[in-house]
């Protein structure tokens, strides 16, 4: 049996077994790599106070090992001893680089925060960093090191782990550091990390939403902010936290932890008035990048009644367990959901949240190019845009890569939302993702006339519920000429039909007319003939008068229509005929795709788009984020440059019965990656069946492409 087989660190006696066992494991892992390992206790006692539990060293490095069975808040008392031991060792070994591994059952968030603050205080030093390792992560690290030859993971590889100290925010992120820095070829570990991240993310978002809802209530209860102002204050506080965490990541002080905020308060002499939070927010608003992005207006201010004591007690301290910037935790997304719940928006039909796996799948399906101009006209918190930005930047190659990425961020990503607060959240999210200049506007996504024929790719999940097309901002030209999917009556055709009916009745009664009425009859007859001729000319030339009927349509129907105007007629002139136009990837209520009420919309899609793929999603897709079982599909279509052309290519159909998260918000299998692989196989088969610019249906039919099933 090896040193690690059958071990359960939690069950070891902390006085007589824990340090001794960890010492044996470390010797097996590190001695062959040239490190000395020493336990400062005995075979039957743990190390005494005043010294590290275990020490590891060579000529260049010294690592203290501090091991404990203590969990949760009780671990706080360990911190000062850890810090003192490290500084004492450095004092004795000034020419060595000194570090600490803190090993415990799980790293409590307060200990993680204390370690992070200490590491940041030493940001200007190469060493003097503490790395928390929970028992599972310690076991992962040492097991890999024991079972590999010394050359595979060198001393320098191991020491480089400490350079990623900004990511030591929780045990899940530390595991990711181990994978990214050392074990990046281990695909099963990658899957395990993703599953753990997803599971924790779902739990954390639920906690976070509940916490932000309570914060909004506290703002009300203490009469600090009422009604819409309360949620604005929540959003501003979340952004301050994100902004300061971003500063911290770039090695500046995070002024929004309890200790640092109190220091900031003292520095600006607000110890008595306790209005430092207002000064901090104003300082953030003065950031030139935020000004350039027009993220805030002069009226964007925290409530005058808010003071520092409230902020520390009801925001900084309770939310210190969450790190938004360096983890998957979507603080702005949580604020977005709270905004939806409090404003009465139709969250239940998916107006607010698109699951992250759906976003990533659609971005990959779009096969973006680094030169594409991307729009989300119903952008929410802009997650389609942030994912598109990352995807496009990753594909940049050749000369001036930095310049290309800068152009993507500054000039190629656009989003709109007609809710001012939501648009502000989107701007915040784009800024946090380093977009360079936020092209987010608080506009109605159906009225972007200046974007006509300028967009390469639209990625969007518009409201699944009903939208009115009878708003005051929508004129008749919009409803009748621009929006073909809106039901309307053809008044000219109706008038023509009525005149034809009247003429027929008049002629049928011609023999019963008395002689004295002949003149009047002839006059009426000629008038009807003239009107019929006039109406026929109008119908022939398309100069028809319409009037809108009804007032509601599902949001997806309206956005499919307006996307036709925004997308370029010609995105890639060198492509095959059915791949040249702008791309639309949109989440639609399946009622649009299969009910009689929306036949007009389907006719519109077939007229103006080549349909590339329809991916049906399980009814459970939106349950974890919006508690709706609305049946949806992803439509992928490419705009035609000739609406009269008939589609020749077949359409890819897929169904995802599982999308990574089940209705109980637990990680489950995800069928989307397999569907994406099958679609790519299908596309390659389609492309291979072209003869010049003509698709050969017979060749495709005779090909070996077979439908594929998915097995968990």
Are 595 and 529 in the same domain? no
Q: Distance between CA atoms of 549 and 552, rounded to whole angstroms?
A: 9
Are 181 and 209 in the same domain? no
Q: What is the pLDDT of residue 596?
A: 94
Q: What is the pLDDT of residue 347?
A: 40
| C-beta atoms surrounding 177 within 10 Å | 20
Are 507 and 420 in the same domain? no
Q: Distance between CA atoms of 478 and 137, rounded to whole angstroms?
A: 59
- Would residue 195 count as lying in a domain? no
Contacts of 455 (CB under 8 A, 6+ apart): 373, 374, 375, 414, 566, 567, 568, 582
Residues lower than pLDDT 50 in the chain = 1, 345-351
Are 128 and 163 in the same domain? yes
Are 181 and 212 in the same domain? no
Q: Distance between CA atoms of 556 and 462, rounded to whole angstroms?
A: 6
Q: Find out whether 33 and 154 touch, Cβ atoms under 8 Å.
A: yes
Largest CA distance in the chain: 133
Contacts of 253 (CB under 8 A, 6+ apart): 120, 247, 260
Are 566 and 645 in the same domain? yes
- Would residue 709 count as lying in a domain? no
Separation of CA 685 from chain center? 32
Q: What is the pLDDT of residue 685?
A: 95
Q: What are phi and psi of 440, to 5 degrees?
A: -110, 135
In 129-199, which ranges are E strands? Answer: 129-134
Contacts of 355 (CB under 8 A, 6+ apart): 621, 622, 624, 625, 659, 660, 661
Number of folded domains in the chain?
Answer: 4
- Would residue 286 count as lying in a domain? yes
Number of H helices, E strands in the chain: 26, 21
Quote the domain boundaries for residue 508: 488-548
Q: Distance between CA atoms of 258 and 235, rounded to whole angstroms?
A: 19
- Would residue 109 count as lying in a domain? yes
Q: What is the pLDDT of residue 1?
A: 39
Q: What is the pLDDT of residue 66?
A: 96
- Would residue 697 count as lying in a domain? no
Are 544 and 568 in the same domain? no
| C-beta atoms surrounding 443 within 10 Å | 15
Number of residues that make up the chain: 712
Q: Find out whether 327 and 170 touch, Cβ atoms under 8 Å.
A: yes
Query: Of 548, 569, 596, at which residue does a domain stop?
Result: 548
| C-beta atoms surrounding 407 within 10 Å | 16
- Would residue 163 count as lying in a domain? yes
Are 325 and 455 in the same domain? no
- Would residue 567 count as lying in a domain? yes
Q: What CATH number is given to the structural domain containing 173?
A: 3.40.91.50
Threshold 0.75, pTM exceeds? yes
Q: Find out whether 351 and 465 touch, Cβ atoms under 8 Å.
A: yes
Q: Distance between CA atoms of 418 and 379, rounded to whole angstroms?
A: 9
- Nearest-CA neighbor of 311 among 226, 224, 221? 224
Are 530 and 665 in the same domain? no
- Would residue 538 count as lying in a domain? yes
For 222-272, the pLDDT digits (tens) are 999 988 899 899 999 999 999 999 998 888 899 999 999 999 999 999 999
Are 282 and 167 in the same domain? no
Q: How many CA atoms lie within 13 A of 345 on its CB side?
A: 21
Q: What is the pLDDT of residue 30?
A: 97
Contacts of 381 (CB under 8 A, 6+ apart): 330, 332, 333, 336, 422, 425, 426, 429
Are 655 and 528 in the same domain? no
Q: What is the pLDDT of residue 277?
A: 98
- Nearest-CA neighbor of 369 among 637, 577, 585, 571? 571
Q: What is the pLDDT of residue 647?
A: 97
Q: Find out whether 429 and 332 touch, Cβ atoms under 8 Å.
A: yes
Query: Of 344, 371, 392, at which residue does a domain stop?
Result: 344
Q: Find out whether 158 and 311 touch, Cβ atoms under 8 Å.
A: no
Q: Distance between CA atoms of 493 and 646, rounded to whole angstroms?
A: 28
Q: What is the pLDDT of residue 627?
A: 57
Query: Of 344, 362, 395, at which residue does a domain stop?
Result: 344
Q: What is the pLDDT of residue 521?
A: 84
Q: Say which DSSP state 645 is in.
A: P
Burial of 710 (0-12, 13-18, 19+ CB in 10 A): middle
Q: What is the pLDDT of residue 36?
A: 97
Are 461 and 600 in the same domain? yes
Q: How many CA atoms lie within 13 A of 68 on its CB side?
A: 23
Q: What CATH number is given to the structural domain containing 638?
A: 3.40.50.150
Q: Find out whether 119 and 180 touch, Cβ atoms under 8 Å.
A: no
């Amino acid at each position: 049996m090896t040193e690690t087989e059958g071990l359960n660190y939690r069950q070891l006696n902390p006085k007589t077994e824990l340090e001794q066992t960890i010492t044996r494991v470390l010797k097996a892992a590190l001695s062959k790599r040239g490190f000395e390992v020493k336990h400062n206790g005995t075979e039957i006692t743990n190390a005494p106070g005043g010294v590290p539990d275990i020490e590891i060293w060579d000529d260049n490095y010294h690592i203290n090992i501090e091991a404990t069975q203590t969990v949760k808040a009780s671990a706080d008392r360990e911190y000062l001893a850890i810090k003192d031991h490290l500084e004492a060792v450095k004092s004795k070994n000034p020419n060595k680089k000194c570090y600490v591994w803190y090993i415990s059952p799980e790293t409590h968030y307060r200990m993680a925060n204390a370690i992070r603050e200490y590491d940041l205080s030493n940001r200007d030093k190469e060493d003097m960093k503490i790395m928390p390792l929970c028992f599972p992560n310690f076991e992962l690290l040492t097991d890999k090191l024991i079972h590999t030859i010394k050359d595979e993971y060198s001393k320098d590889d191991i020491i480089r782990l400490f350079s990623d100290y900004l990511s030591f925010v929780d045990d899940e992120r530390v595991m990711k550091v181990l994978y990214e820095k050392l074990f990046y070829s281990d695909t099963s570990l990658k899957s395990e990390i993703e599953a753990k991240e997803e599971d924790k993310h779902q739990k954390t978002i639920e906690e976070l939403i509940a916490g932000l809802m309570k914060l909004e209530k506290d703002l009300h209860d203490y009469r600090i902010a009422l009604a819409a102002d309360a949620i604005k204050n929540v959003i501003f506080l979340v952004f301050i936290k994100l902004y300061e965490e971003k500063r911290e990541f770039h090695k500046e002080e995070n002024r929004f932890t309890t200790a640092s905020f109190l220091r900031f308060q003292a520095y600006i002499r607000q110890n008595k008035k306790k209005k430092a939070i207002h000064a901090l927010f104003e300082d953030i608003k003065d950031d030139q990048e935020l000004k350039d992005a027009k993220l805030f207006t002069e009226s964007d201010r925290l409530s005058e009644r808010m003071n520092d004591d409230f902020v520390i007690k009801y925001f900084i301290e309770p939310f210190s367990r969450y790190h938004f910037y360096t983890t998957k935790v979507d603080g702005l997304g949580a604020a977005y959901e709270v905004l939806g719940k409090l404003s009465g928006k139709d969250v239940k039909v998916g107006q607010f949240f698109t699951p992250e796996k759906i976003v990533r799948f659609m971005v990959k399906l779009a096969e973006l190019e680094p030169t594409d101009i991307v729009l989300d006209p119903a952008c929410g918190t802009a997650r389609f845009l942030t994912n598109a930005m990352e995807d496009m930047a990753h594909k940049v190659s050749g000369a001036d890569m930095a310049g290309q990425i800068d152009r993507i961020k500054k000039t190629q990503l656009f989003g709109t939302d007609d809710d001012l607060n939501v648009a502000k959240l989107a701007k915040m999210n784009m800024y946090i993702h380093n977009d360079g200049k936020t092209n987010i506007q608080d506009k109605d996504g159906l009225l972007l006339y200046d974007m006509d024929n300028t967009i390469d790719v639209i990625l969007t999940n518009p409201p699944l519920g009903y939208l009115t097309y009878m708003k005051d901002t929508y004129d008749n030209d919009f409803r009748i000429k621009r929006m073909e999917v809106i039901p309307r009556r053809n008044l000219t055709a109706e008038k023509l039909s009525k005149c034809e009916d009247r003429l027929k009745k008049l002629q049928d009664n011609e023999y019963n007319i008395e002689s004295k009425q002949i003149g009047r009859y002839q006059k009426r007859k000629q008038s009807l003939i003239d009107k019929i001729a006039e109406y026929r000319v109008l119908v022939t030339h398309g100069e028809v008068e319409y009037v809108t009927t009804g007032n509601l349509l599902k949001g997806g129907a309206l956005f499919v229509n307006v996307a036709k105007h925004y997308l370029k007629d010609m995105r890639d002139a060198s492509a095959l005929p059915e791949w040249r136009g702008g791309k639309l990837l949109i989440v639609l209520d399946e009622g649009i795709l299969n009910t009689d009420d929306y036949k007009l919309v389907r006719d519109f899609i077939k007229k103006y788009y080549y349909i590339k793929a329809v991916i049906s999603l399980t009814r459970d897709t939106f349950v974890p984020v919006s508690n709706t079982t609305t049946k949806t599909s992803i439509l992928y279509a490419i705009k035609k440059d000739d609406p009269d052309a008939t589609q020749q290519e077949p359409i890819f159909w897929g169904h995802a019965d599982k999308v990574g998260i089940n209705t109980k918000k637990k990680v489950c299998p995800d069928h989307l990656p397999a569907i994406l692989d099958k679609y790519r196989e299908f596309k390659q088969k389609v492309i291979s069946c072209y003869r010049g610019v003509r698709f050969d249906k017979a060749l495709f039919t005779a090909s070996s492409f077979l439908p594929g099933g998915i097995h968990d």
